């Protein structure tokens, strides 16, 4: 099943970013093919590889104690995933598209490369920071309460991530159930929201999984883009002592 990465694929992938300096990393890539539903890695697996989607799509998910599934992220072509240093996997990743191609990079080899090449190390840092920014943006979306806002945000996110001509339709490789578990909604609510957007002529369906955005302005209005301004002192309050411990975390 594993095939050494073809020169054409790896070249194409990196040329998008115009980033030639990571070619050395691409030489570590081994591409494997997955069918829909097949696991790339599972929860509690040790971290031995880092990955990148070459073609198709995958989902990263977790299961709650009550059996509910939560999709943390969708990975589309070009996306890296599975990064980490020591602790075992907290999520599992499965392909959601037949014939999905995923490149993997031996973690140790990548880290050696990063240790010896500051440029690669910096690029990896940049990827990590970008991921953090994107996750924080998604967090804001998830805290917004209304279903229409979440679904609108999701459609815009998918449209932005899949580089297509604005007039063309956006392809959604995932099922409605996946979307629901991604947005923290019930399937029926997702379906109702999509129907409402369609009836308002904000979107149109070429097929069940192909959406065309007819009125992006309205969609963005529903998604409630963040305000541009700086701060709002407003609510404040505090009581007792500070500095009762040290954690070590990072974010943008």
Partner DNA sequence: CGCGCCATTGACAGGTGTCAAGAAACGTGG
Partner DNA sequence: CCACGTTTCTTGACACCTGTCAATGGCGCG
Residues 164 and 190: their CA atoms lie apart, in Å, by 24
Residues 181 and 204: their CA atoms lie apart, in Å, by 23
Identity of the residue, 78 or 184, whose beta carbon is nearer to DNA in the bound complex: 184
Q: Which does 188 bind (CB under 5 to 8 A by kind): DNA, its own copies, none?
A: DNA
Residue 236: burial class (beta carbons within 10 Å; 0-12, 13-18, 19+): exposed
The answer to the question of residue 208 lying near DNA (CB under 7 A) is yes
Identity of the residue, 62 or 187, whose beta carbon is nearer to DNA in the bound complex: 187
Residues 150 and 103: their CA atoms lie apart, in Å, by 31
What region does 69 belong to: left with phi over 0, alpha with psi -120 to 50, or beta? beta
Options 186, 201, 206, 221; binder of DNA; rule CB under 7 A: 186
Options 11, 195, 201, 221; binder of DNA; rule CB under 7 A: 195
Contact 187, 101 (CB under 8 A): no
Options 32, 33, 47, 175; binder of DNA; rule CB under 7 A: 175
Window 112-151: residues binding DNA (CB under 7 A): 145-148
Options 55, 69, 209, 212; binder of DNA; rule CB under 7 A: 209
Q: Which H/E stretch holds residue 203?
A: strand 203-207
Nearest Cα to Cα of residue 146 among 200, 195, 183, 197? 183
Identity of the residue, 60 or 104, whose beta carbon is nearer to DNA in the bound complex: 60
Identity of the residue, 4 or 18, whose beta carbon is nearer to its own copies in the bound complex: 18
State the nearest-atom distance from the C-beta of 102 to DNA, in Å: 20
List interacting residues with DNA (CB under 7 A). 145-148, 175-177, 184-192, 194-195, 205, 207-209, 234-237, 239
């Amino acid at each position: 099943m594993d095939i050494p990465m073809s020169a054409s694929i790896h070249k194409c992938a990196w040329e998008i970013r115009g980033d030639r300096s990571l070619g050395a990393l691409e030489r570590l890539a081994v591409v494997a093919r997955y069918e829909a539903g097949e696991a790339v890695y599972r929860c509690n697996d040790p971290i031995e590889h880092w990955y990148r989607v070459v073609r198709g799509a995958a989902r990263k998910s977790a299961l709650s104690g009550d059996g509910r599934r939560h999709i943390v992220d969708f990975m589309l072509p070009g996306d890296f995933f599975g990064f980490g240093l020591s602790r075992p996997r907290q999520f599992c990743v499965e392909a959601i598209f037949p014939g999905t191609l995923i490149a993997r990079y031996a973690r140790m080899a990548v880290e050696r490369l990063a240790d010896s090449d500051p440029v690669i190390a910096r690029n990896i840092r940049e990827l990590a920071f970008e991921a953090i920014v994107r996750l924080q943006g998604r967090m804001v979306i998830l805290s917004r309460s209304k279903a229409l806002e979440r679904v609108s945000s999701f459609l815009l996110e998918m449209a932005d991530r899949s580089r297509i001509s604005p007039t063309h339709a956006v392809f959604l490789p995932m099922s409605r159930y996946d979307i629901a578990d991604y947005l923290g909604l019930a399937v029926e609510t997702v379906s109702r929201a999509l129907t409402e957007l369609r009836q308002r002529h904000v979107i149109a369906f070429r097929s069940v999984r192909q959406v065309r955005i007819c009125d992006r302005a309205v969609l963005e209005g529903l998604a409630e883009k963040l305000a541009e301004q700086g701060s709002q002192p407003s609510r404040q309050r505090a009581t007792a002592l500070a500095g009762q411990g040290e954690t070590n975390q990072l974010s943008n």
